[in-house]
Structure formats: C-alpha cells, structure tokens
Amino acid sequence: MLNALAQVLMTVVPFLMVLTVIVTIHELGHFLVARYFGVKVDRFAIGFGKAIFSRTDRHGIEWRIGWLPLGGYVKFSGDMDASSVPDSRGLDTLKREIVAEKGVGAERDYFHFKPIWQRMLIVAAGPVSNFVLAIAIFTVLFSVVGVTLRPARIVEVVAGSPAATAGFQVGDLITEINGSPVRDRSDVSRRTSLSSGDPLRFTVERAGQRLILIATPERRVQEDPLAGRTNMGQLGVLLSSTAAETRQIRYNPIEAVGEGVRQTGNVLGTTLNYIGRIFTGRENGDQLSGPLGIAKASGALTNAAVAANPDPGAMAINLLLTMTSFAAILSIGIGFLNLLPIPVLDGGHLVFYAYEAVARKPVAASVQEAGYRVGLALLAGLMLFATWNDLQKLNLFKFLGGLVS
C-alpha cells in the first residue's frame, strides 16, 4: 500500500509542479504584454479553487494562489464571457457602462478597446512565452551541463528487417538521412519513427567508404519505458557507440541559444509532421498522449533519475536536470496546443481577431457562441481520445481483464 502511494506521489507531484510552472509562465506572457499596453487587469492567479493567499497591489490587481495546482489564469477587466471576444452589441454595452462609471476615455484602458494588433500580440504572448521558456531551458542545459553526442554506429541488424533488406551491416556508421546530418543516434530513431512506409535515403560510412542505402521503416509495436506500448516506424537496427566516439560538448552562451532554438524547432517539427501524417492517413493517432500518459512519463523520468545514483546529492541533481528537460518539452507542447485554431484556445481568439481585422467588425455573438461550444466539444473529444490511448498503452484493459477472468 505504501509502495503504491509512493509511486503515485512520484508520478503526480512532479507532473503537477512542472505543469503549474509552465502554465504560470504562459499566463505571465499574456499579463506582461497586456500591462505593457496599459490594459487593466483584475486578477493574476496561480492554481484554481479557494485562495490560500491573496493580495491586491496598488494597481488594483489581485495576486492569488489557489489550493488546486493545475495551472493559472489572467482575468482582464471587462471580460464578459468565457470566450473573451464580445460582439459589437456587447462592446457598446461595455463601453456605456465604463463611461458611466469612470468617464469618457476610460474604455481605452480595457483589453477589448485596444487596437486589434495589440490584442493579437497579447493573445499570442502566452504560447510565445512557452517557446521562449523552452529555448531558455535548453540554453542553460547546453551551456552549463552540455550535451552528449553518440554516433549512430550499427552493432546489430535484425534479420528480415528493413535494414537487413536494404543492406545495412554491423559496423556501419549512419551520417545522413535524406541529406540531413545525423549528429546523435537519437536523430535516427526520431526520423524513422515517423517515416513508416516512406523510403529514406541513408548515407553510411563503411570501412572508409561512403555508401547510399535506401530503406523503408516498418511500423512495429514495442514497449517504451516512458511512453508505454508504442506502434511506430522502425528500421530494425541496434545503435551504439564506443567511448572514444562519444563526445561531450558544452556550448558557449551564443551557441547554446542557437542549439536551444534548433531543439525547440525539432520538437515542433516532429509534432507538425505527426499531425500531418494523421490527416493524410499515414498515422492513426495512437501516440497522442493526455494527462495520464504525460504523468506516467514524468513518473518514469523521476524514477530513472532517482535510481541513477543513490547518493542524495547526485540524486537531487539528476532529478533537477531530468525534470527541467521534461519541462522544456512539455512547455513546447502546451504552446503548440494553445495555437490550434480552436475558439476556446489562444489560436481561436487569433482567428476571431483576424476576421475582425478584415471585416472591420467583431464576429457575431451567435457565431462566437457556436464556435465556443464546438471548441469545447473538440477539446473534450481530443482529451478522451488521448486518455483512451494512454489507457491502451498502459495495458490497463488487459490488467482489468486479468482481474475479472
């Protein structure tokens, strides 16, 4: 019982801590840009539910910490509905109320009466803050800790695999895939996992010679310690490298920023590639993860960091570095999710503002309401689908079936 409780704590607590920090940074992006443009703000909250701490500053902004650590939010003065995009009638009503209470011109301090380009920047600042956070984390890690580069040297070729068919041999060093350099063996798995059914052009070094091999990764099921059961493209090779080939690189601050941008771009590119393959029918979406899958990954990373070295000091450092890297990846995911053109998300607000910029008037209230309901339904459906995937990958149904039989 105690072991099970400890496992739950090791899984849930780090996930909630990381999630709260990331969402707080997201909301802080909205807040800072809004304040820069002089927007009145009623509240900045970390967490939800009943306040365990609350203070109102001299600008009238309430700073609150809620008891439920599931993110946070910013409440702009004058927000009248959940979509925060009132129509022309709603704007007229709001303006009359503000003028009646505070005088002519007071409405210019409210979000909804700011120029449209300012509103778009305020909305976009949240996701952008997530990307900036990820770049900052990668920059610190690459400059302080460095990165280990392990060449993609083949030490085993699975019989009957795409690699065997293509002519790969033990000892081959993969240097390029479709013309893109392979700096680390993780580049090979990242590229092949989302290329099932697509021929890839590999450049390899063999006995001092440069060869070109064409291989088409096949979709296969395997167990991943972080993601559970996965069904992705595989080449059919085992990659390793000798100690002499492995390099530990620490970048200077400028180089580290460039590497941080590149790493963030790689994560975004992989995400876009996967979504594109879903829409073209080449992937079925079974690798989309929801809170359960992300929490499991967080717990697995935490356990691995703790088990890597029993020394308390080393354990604390490993845990800090692991969760910091995890925070960068999760921050990119949250930033990308919020840019999706769904009305309840930042991307949906940007779509409404783009329409307003072209049509010279806000989207009609009926359209906003319908979009808001459809957006909620889409998000709910996406969460249910992702949760179903998580349960499948965690083999929960097989476990329950074993209990019943």
Which residues are within 8 A (CB) of 61 and not within 5 positions of it... i.e. 6 or more apart? Answer: 41, 42, 43, 44
Measure Cα distances from 387 to 113, 146, 293, 332, 403 in Å. 40, 35, 8, 20, 21
What pLDDT does residue 281 have? 73
* Domain regions of the chain by residue span: 126-146+258-405, 147-249
Burial group, residue 152, by CB count within 10 angstroms (0-12, 13-18, 19+): buried
- What's the rounded Cα separation, in Å, for the pair 15 and 369? 33
- What does the angle CA 235 – CA 297 – CA 221 come to, to the nearest 5 degrees? 30
**Residue range 139-149: mean pLDDT, rounded:** 88
At residue 74, the 3 state secondary structure works out as strand
**More confident call, 307 vs 382:** 382
**Residue range 15-43: mean pLDDT, rounded:** 91
What pLDDT does residue 220 have? 82
| Phi–psi pair at 268, nearest 5 degrees | -65, -40
- The CATH architecture that domain 147-249 belongs to is Roll (2.30)
**Contact assessment for residue 243 and residue 233, using Cβ atoms and an 8 Å cutoff:** no
- Report how far apart the first and last C-alpha atoms of the chain are (Å, whole number): 24
DSSP annotation of 394:
T
Whether 27 is catalytic is: yes
Q: What's the pLDDT band for 37 if we cut at 50, 70, 90?
A: very high
Tokens 């079974």 map to which residue? 286
**More confident call, 307 vs 143:** 143
Does residue 265 register a pLDDT over 70? yes
Of 27, 107, 259, 283, which one is the catalytic site residue? 27
Distance, C-alpha 5 to centroid of its chain: 28
| Phi–psi pair at 366, nearest 5 degrees | -65, -40
**Contact assessment for residue 119 and residue 101, using Cβ atoms and an 8 Å cutoff:** no
**Contact assessment for residue 169 and residue 206, using Cβ atoms and an 8 Å cutoff:** yes
The structure tokens listed for 362 are: 């806000």
**More confident call, 148 vs 387:** 148
Measure Cα distances from 335 to 27, 68, 199, 205, 327 in Å. 11, 22, 32, 39, 12
| Phi–psi pair at 109, nearest 5 degrees | -90, 0
Helix 312-338 vs helix 116-140: crossing angle, to nearest 10: 150
Q: Among 163-167, 216-220, 282-286, which stretch is predicted with the lowest mean pLDDT?
A: 282-286
- What's the rounded Cα separation, in Å, for the pair 277 and 360? 37
| Highest mean pLDDT (candidates 65-69, 76-80, 221-225) | 65-69
Q: State pLDDT tens for residues 345-360.
A: 899 999 999 999 999 8
Q: State pLDDT tens for residues 374-390.
A: 887 887 777 776 666 65
Partnered with residue 76 across adjacent β-strands are 41
The structure tokens listed for 86 are: 């009132």
Distance, C-alpha 173 to centroid of its chain: 32
Cα torsion through 172, 150, 155, 269, rounded to 10: -80
Taking Cα atoms as reference points, which of 244, 249, 259 lies closest to residue 173?
Answer: 244
Measure Cα distances from 109 to 27, 62, 73, 80 in Å. 19, 17, 20, 16
- What's the rounded Cα separation, in Å, for the pair 152 and 246? 10
Does residue 251 register a pLDDT over 80? yes
